[in-house]
Structure 1
Amino acid sequence: MSDAGYHLIKLDLDSTTIGRADPEGEHERRVAIADLLEANYFAPLDAQPGPYILRLAVEDQRLVFDVSYQDGHPVHTFVFALGPLRRIIKDYFLICESYYEAVRDASLSQIEAIDMGRRGVHNEGSSLLKERLEGKITVDFETARRLFTLICALSRRSLNT
């Protein structure tokens, strides 16, 4: 899935819905954006080849994918209910908290076990996101993983309010 033009070159996170994250969350967000932009497959249904710009937001408990071409012309705005992802996102937050606590004072084997669980929950969320995008935006699994990380970052504020 490496068709030329079907990729993101820029990602904007909506500043009004992001909120502040802890240092680990901010770092994870920056790394996910850099990784996503370095290598991704992103093909909106029925759109001409890009490259594309994506604005991610959480508005009224909905996930918004606002896609445009690199020249700013709109492609489409996709809106998804956050409900199907909510449980996995909450589970991911909980296991991340356990992981960050474990890094401070747990044994290596405990850290590794928690990290395996964290990756499993992340993969589950990524698979569900890929399914939710089906028929609207085609992404590969690695792109879905990086997008799931960013959606978690965007959702942190809306889940805590």
Structure 2
Amino acid sequence: MTGTSTTSSRFRLSAVSFDPPLGGRPDATQKCEQAAAVFDLLDNNRFAPVEHGGGPYRLRLTLVDKRLVISVTTENGAPVLRHHLSLTSFRRLLKDYRIVCESFANAEARLTPDRLEAIDMGRRAIHDEASALLIQRLESKIGIDQATARRLFTLIHLLVPQQLLEGVI
């Protein structure tokens, strides 16, 4: 999915794409989640590749051999960086995040608002921990803020297939 940003900064993303799209065959909920995360990300982000003069930038996320490949180019296609990020340190967070999101979706119709809020608080806590880890793991390559990291983690979560988290592939 690709979109256009309204942010005026040179250190921002103007487009995001995936390969493969959402780890294969997304369902309607995943498509909606992806569209919302991409829209929010492109609307407001801070994305500053280290030692690069400025963009805006295009980001491509690819899953290759249990690693996330982060490819960044300028808007006119000039390569900026290509970084292979191991998902090993994210594995527990990705699994926990997936479980709590599924729990929330399954419980939405039958739980009281206070119980749903408790599940959502757990989801936000995992999301915050994962985004802090993402900032830390990328700091030598790309400067991102908390909001950008949260949205990127959402996209990573959607890109990584369940089988990878279970060690099947």
Q: TM-score category by the smaller chain?
A: over 0.9
Aligned CA-pair RMSD: 1.6
Q: Which amino acid counterpart does residue 68 of structure 2 have in structure 1? A: L
Rate the CA distance shift 1:22–1:16 in 2: closer, same or farther, 3 A.
Answer: closer
Q: 1:43 aligns with which of 45, 48, 57?
A: 48
- TM-score norm. by structure 1 comes to 0.93
Residue in 2 aligned with 1:12? Answer: 17
| 1:86-110 CA-partner distances (Å, limit 9, x unpaired) | 1100000000111001102111111
Rate the CA distance shift 1:113–1:15 in 2: closer, same or farther, 3 A.
Answer: same
- TM-score norm. by structure 2 comes to 0.89
Greater helix proportion = 1
Q: 1:81 aligns with which of 83, 86, 89?
A: 86
Quote the Cα distance in structure 1 between the aligned partners of 2:21 and 2:137. Answer: 24
Quote the Cα distance in structure 2 between the aligned partners of 1:159 and 1:58. Answer: 13
Task: Give the gaps of 5 or more residues in structure 2.
Answer: 1-6
Rate the CA distance shift 1:17–1:38 in 2: closer, same or farther, 3 A.
Answer: closer
The structure, 1 or 2, with the larger RCO (C-alpha pairs under 8 Å, 6+ apart) is 1
Tell me which moved more, 2-11 or 37-46: 2-11
CA contact (8 A) 1:17 1:57 kept: no
Task: Give the gaps of 5 or more residues in structure 1.
Answer: none
Tell me which moved more, 88-97 or 2-11: 2-11
CA contact (8 A) 2:59 2:72 kept: yes
Equivalence map 1:53-68=2 (5 Å) = 53-68=58-73
Q: Percent identity?
A: 43
Q: Once the 2 structures are TM-superposed, how far is the Cα of residue 156 of structure 1 from its aligned partner?
A: 2.6
How many aligned positions are there? 160
Tell me which moved more, 111-120 or 18-27: 18-27
Residue in 1 aligned with 2:104? Answer: 99
Q: 1:159 aligns with which of 155, 161, 165?
A: 165
